[in-house]
Chain A
Amino acid sequence: MTILTSAENFSHDGLQQLEMRLRRARLGLGVGVLGIVMVFVSFTSAYIVRQGLPTLDPRTNTLVHDWFPLPLPALLFFNTGLLLISSVTMELARRQVARSTTPTRAASIPNVFAGREGTILWLALTAVLGLSFLKGQWTVWREMEASGFYVASSPSSSFVYLLTGTHGVHLLGGIFALLTAGATVLFRRPAESRVVVLDVTAWYWHFMTLLWVYILCLLEFAG
């Protein structure tokens, strides 16, 4: 295999290799994302089912509904904003790397000068925003606890913690991916690797944002 050095040009073979690696990585990510989606599909169905579930009240021997939607702290929406912006910065990083290594391709990618430093900046910003989101989620949890809503307080509170918690864990995984992407860019790994790693990281990150928006809508509108 032609191991590409830090030179930013790709031969025809090199481009073919890159396309193949990119296609394979994206396919793998898509498949993996589908696996994760099923976890949240299950949570969603449990959520919907639980809302409508009557339970036997032994006192009256009748079936009663015990679902009371939880008022969502406003901070949750601010956090959402952070995550949305982080997706933008992530996308900027991804495009920058993609552009910088394919100057000869007829591009759906606009032509702008590149710079490794720029990419690192965008990645760092994404990481900061991501971490702020997670910190914000943690604060939301403290707020909920302060209002008396712990994980086992009510069925709806259980789901809020469950959904935000599971998403948070996956986002943390995304942060690790960001660190890997940063290392890849910083330590001058082959250009091909940079493109692929940034691409996979970015799409995973966008999936995390989309997933979060979905969860928020579920909690807000289907509560």
Chain B
Amino acid sequence: MATGEFAAHEAHAHAAPQGFIRKWVFSLDHKVIGLQYYFLALTAVFVGMFLSLLMRIHLIWPGVSLPLFGEIKPEAYLSLLTMHGTIMVFFVLTTAPQGGFGNYFLPIQIGAADMAFPVINMLSFWVTFLAYIVMLSAFFVTGGAPLHGWTGYPPLSALPSAGPGEGLGADLWVISIALFCIGALMSALNFITTTLDMRARGMSLMRMPLTCWAWFITAILGLLAFGVLLAAGILLILDRNAGTSFFVPLVTVNGQLAGHKGGSPLLWQHLFWFFGHPEVYIAILPAMGLCSQLVSVFSRKPIFGYKAMVYAMLSIGIMGFMVWGHHMFMSGMSPYSGFAFSVMTMAIGVPSAIKTFNWLGTLWGGKIRFSSPMLFAIGFVSLFVSGGISGPFLAQPVLDIPLHDTYFVTGHFHLIMGVASIFGIFAATYYWFPKMFGRLMNERLARWHFWFSFVGTYAIFMPMHYLGMAGHPRRYSELTEVGYLHNLLPLQKFITYVAFITIAGQFIFLFNLFWSMKFGKKASDNPWEATTLEWTTATPPPHDNFAGRTPVIHHGPYEYSVPGEPRDFVMQTDPLTVAVR
């Protein structure tokens, strides 16, 4: 049911495909590709979560023998840790928000019939899928998965003799990441071209929903960052297999010379973090865009300070490339560089703060509806604040001295990246589910899921800050060897117990997701009474999104509770009675 103004439109470049393979496997339709990315991320998040559960069990009960697995050895713990981080960061946080929801909704929200290059879109998914398979295969080869952490610092990651799993497992890890980079670059290409060149009439850049801005800026970050990771990966593959010494100086392992000389471990760190810092913004920006969308829709108010929100995201994007050294204060990097990076890092906290103020400003004076997407949006703001506040501690090099590589850092990035970003994915799922599947997810189950997740994740990750202050280093497989860690075991136990409960709560979501696809309450085309273009289409949207027509846009996407209008929302395709913007 489409209201508003639509123009006649030349038929979509390719007719709707027939046959199972063309429709669901090698589809060129951005909506199908979006779902493929989403379900890939869904399997990945449960794998990653399961790995973390094993980690938590081993930490507090090191000797316990698990059914099917037996005892988790210390090196196995490190492999679990490495794969947990890698899978979560790449195959969940860099996949679901952008490849999943971005692919599905960017074209629709800007009024386009598909992405600019559907074939490249399809290829980008299948390359990512291949990367995923390669990554998982590392578990099953001789030596098992690598143990060098998702950050893969050489020489540990460059020398097969440096530890179990550092042989073939590590090679597969690097290859998987290299493939992922290629998939990400292809995807970024599509997002940027689509946003710049395929907006419908009237959809100026400053009338785009903030989700589109977020996907656009995320794609630019990805375009400029993944090439650097790819380069680093190539150098690492050469060091590991061709005897080069880009990263490895003269070292011995177990009394044997390793056969390299002259390389610089710090070179890897610079390259990795030049990618790595924009990567964390890639993980969070889409959630920020969505949060803006949701607080507006469900407060029935325009977003507070649209332009400021756009400039804030742009500054975060640009400055995100200038702060990578804050991961390296203790690395042996020049302390003068450290100072420069730290000032920049504190500065990048400013646009993030602006966004938080604006979300609060949107709630102010609103008429808040506590739908499941809104719960997760409010949860996102709370978690973003908590995760963000611990940043200024780490950003000061002198405070980083006691805190670097402790659980304080683990708590920080899990809250802001692991949880806030995941809440963005949940919010997106509850929000867009009715448009994708024509039914609503069960609200009761959603609320249970929300409370389990919100309280649970706070109870898991807030205590990690205390552990860090007490000096508990990261990536320790056991607490048994260091004297002062014994006192911290009770807190670690608490965290593990809560983790069990919180993970259990995620199955409520999983059940809800699949149950609602078949049995959920049927949804209208616009159940949330929102103004953006996806809510003008049929449910699910037809192959070319707008049934042979193209929307004409009259104003921005946040015209809620406009005085003088008959309803408390005005679709972007409907003109305003009184011209506003």
Direct contact of A and B (CB under 8 A): yes
Residues of A within 8 A of B (CB): 1, 23-24, 27-28, 31-32, 34-43, 45-46, 49-50, 53, 55-56, 58, 66, 151-152, 155, 158, 162, 166
CB closest chain-A residue, reference B191: A31
Min CB distance B33 to A, Å, is 17
A46 touches B267 (CB 8 A): yes
* B 479-498 contacts with A by CB, 8 A: none
Interface residues of B in 521-547 (CB under 8 A from A): none
Q: When A1-B11, A42-B271 are in contact, do A158 and B227 touch as well, CB less than 8 Å?
A: no
Q: B244 and A39: CB pair below 8 A?
A: no
Query: Is the pair B116, A55 in contact by a Cβ cutoff of 8 Å?
Result: no
CA distance A66 to B250 in the complex (A): 12
Least distance between B247 CB and chain A CB atoms (Å): 9
In Å, the complex CA distance between A46 and B224 comes to: 16
CB-CB under 8 A from A49, the residues of chain B are 264, 267, 270
Known contacts A23-B197, A42-B231, A55-B261; A31/B192 CB under 8 A: yes
Interface size class of B (residues with CB under 8 A): 35 or more
Contact between A24 and B116 (Cβ–Cβ < 8 Å)? yes
Q: Can you list 15 A-B pairs with a CB-CB distance of less than 8 A?
A: A24-B197, A31-B188, A31-B193, A32-B189, A34-B224, A42-B271, A45-B271, A53-B262, A56-B250, A151-B238, A151-B243, A151-B244, A152-B244, A155-B263, A166-B234
Which among A35, A39, A41, A152 has the greatest number of chain B C-beta atoms within 10 A? A35
Q: Name A35's closest neighbour in chain B (CB-CB).
A: B185
* Interface bits B193-228 vs A (CB < 8 Å: 1, else 0): 100111000000000000000000000000111111
- B228, A158: Cβ atoms closer than 8 Å: no
B360 interfacial by beta-carbon distance below 8 Å: no
Q: Are B271 and A35 in contact (CB under 8 A)?
A: no
Q: How far is the CA of A53 from the CA of B230 in the complex (A)?
A: 22
Inter-chain contact A37/B246, CB cutoff 8 Å? no
Closest-CB distance, B180 to chain A (whole angstroms): 14
Known contacts A35-B188, A46-B267: A28-B116 contact under CB 8 Å: yes
Contact A158 B189 (CB under 8 A): no
**Complex CA–CA separation, A164 to B234 (angstroms):** 13
Provide the residues of chain B in CB contact with A158, threshold 8 Å. 238, 244-246
B47 near A: Cβ within 8 Å?
no
Chain B residues touching A, majority SS: helix
A152 touches B231 (CB 8 A): no
B452 within 8 A of A: no
Closest residue of chain B to A65 (Cβ to Cβ) is: B262
User: Contact: B13 with A1, CB < 8 Å?
Assistant: yes
| Pairs of residues from A and B, 6 with the lowest C-beta to C-beta distance, nearest first | A38-B227, A42-B231, A152-B243, A39-B227, A35-B185, A158-B244
B339 part of interface (Cβ distance < 8 Å): no
A146 to chain B, nearest CB (A): 18
B273 → chain A closest CB, angstroms: 12
Complexed CA–CA distance, A194 and B234 (Å): 35
CB distance from A34 to the nearest CB of B (A): 6
* B242 and A152 contacting across the interface, CB-CB below 8 Å: yes
- B262 contacts which chain A residues (CB < 8 A)? 50, 53, 55, 66, 155
B10, B197, B231, B264: the one within 8 Å of A43 (CB)? B231
Q: Are A28 and B234 in contact (CB under 8 A)?
A: no
Contact flag A28-B227 (CB < 8 Å), given A50-B267, A158-B244: no
CB-defined contacts of A35 to chain B, threshold 8 Å: 185, 188-189, 223-224, 226-227
Chain A contacts for B192, CB-based, 8 A:
27, 31
B117 lies within 8 A of chain A by Cβ: yes
Partner of A1, one of B10, B234, B249: B10
How far, in angstroms, from A158 to B241 measured CA to CA in the complex?
13
* CA of A56 to CA of B226, assembled, Å: 32
In angstroms, Cα B228 to Cα A41, docked, is 8
Q: What chain B residues lie within 8 Å of A28 (beta carbons)? A: 116-117, 120, 189-190, 193
Q: With an 8 A cutoff between CB atoms, is B235 at the interface?
A: yes
For B274, what are the chain A residues with a Cβ–Cβ distance below 8 Å?
42
Q: Which of A37, A53, A162 contacts B227 (CB 8 A)?
A: A37
Nearest-CB distance from B255 to chain A (Å)? Answer: 15
With A28-B117, A49-B264, A53-B262 given, is the CB distance from A38 to B193 under 8 Å?
Answer: no
Nearest CB of B to A127, in Å: 22
Residues from chain B with Cβ under 8 Å of A55 in the complex: 249-250, 261-264
- Interface residue B316 (Cβ < 8 Å from any Cβ of A): no
- Say whether B83 faces chain A, with CB atoms less than 8 Å apart: no
State how many angstroms separate the Cβ of A192 from the closest Cβ of chain B. 11
Report which of A27, A39, A56, A151 forms a contact with B231, defined as CB distance below 8 A: A39
Contacts of A56 in B (CB 8 A): 249-250
- The answer, among A27, A53, A152, for a CB contact under 8 Å with B197, is A27
Q: Does B232 contact A (CB under 8 A)?
A: yes
Residue in A closest to B197 when the chains form the complex, CB atoms: A24
Contacts of A53 in B (CB 8 A): 262, 264, 267
Q: Is the CB of B196 within 8 A of A162?
A: no
Evaluate contact between B228 and A162: CB separation under 8 angstroms.
no
Q: Which chain B residue has the least Cβ–Cβ distance from A56?
A: B249
Q: B229 — nearest CB in chain A belongs to which residue?
A: A42
Set of chain A residues within 8 Å of B189, measured between Cβ atoms: 28, 31-32, 35
Contact check, A36 vs B197: say whether CB atoms are below 8 A apart: no
Contacts of B250 in A (CB 8 A): 55-56, 58
Q: How far is the CB of A54 from chain B (nearest CB, A)?
A: 10
With A31-B193, A42-B227, A166-B234 as contacts: A50 and B246 at CB distance below 8 Å: yes
Question: With A32-B189, A35-B185 in contact, do A46 and B271 touch (Cβ < 8 Å)?
Answer: yes
Counting chain B CB atoms within 10 Å of each CB, the highest count among A42, A66, A155, A162 belongs to A42
Contact of B238 among A23, A58, A162 (CB under 8 A): A162
Chain A residue numbers with a CB within 8 Å of B231 are: 38-40, 42-43, 46
A24 smallest CB distance to B (angstroms): 5
Determine the distance from Cα of A32 to Cα of B223 in the docked complex, in whole angstroms: 8
Q: How far is the CB of B3 from chain A (nearest CB, A)?
A: 27
Chain B residue numbers with a CB within 8 Å of A34 are 223-224
CA distance A162 to B245 in the complex (A): 12
A114 to chain B, nearest CB (A): 26
Q: Is there an interface contact between B243 and A42, defined as CB atoms closer than 8 Å?
A: no
Query: Once bound together, how far apart are the Cα atoms of A166 and B192, in whole Å?
Result: 25
Separation of A28 and B189 alpha carbons in the complex (Å): 6
> Contacts of B234 on A, CB cut-off 8 Å?
39, 162, 166
Interface string of B1-41 (1 = CB under 8 A from A): 00000000011010000000000000000000000000000
Give Cα A178 to B197, complex, Å: 26
**Chain B residues, CB < 8 A from A66:** 261-262
Give the docked Cα–Cα distance between A200 and B15 (Å).
25
Tell me which residues across on chain B come within 8 A of A42, comparing CB atoms: 227-228, 231-232, 271, 274
A100 to B551, CA, bound (A): 35
Cα-based distance from A66 to B242 in the complex (angstroms)? 19
Task: Check A36 against B235 for contact (C-beta < 8 Å).
Answer: no
Complex: A24 Cα to B198 Cα, angstroms: 9
Would B228 and A38 count as touching, CB distance under 8 A? yes
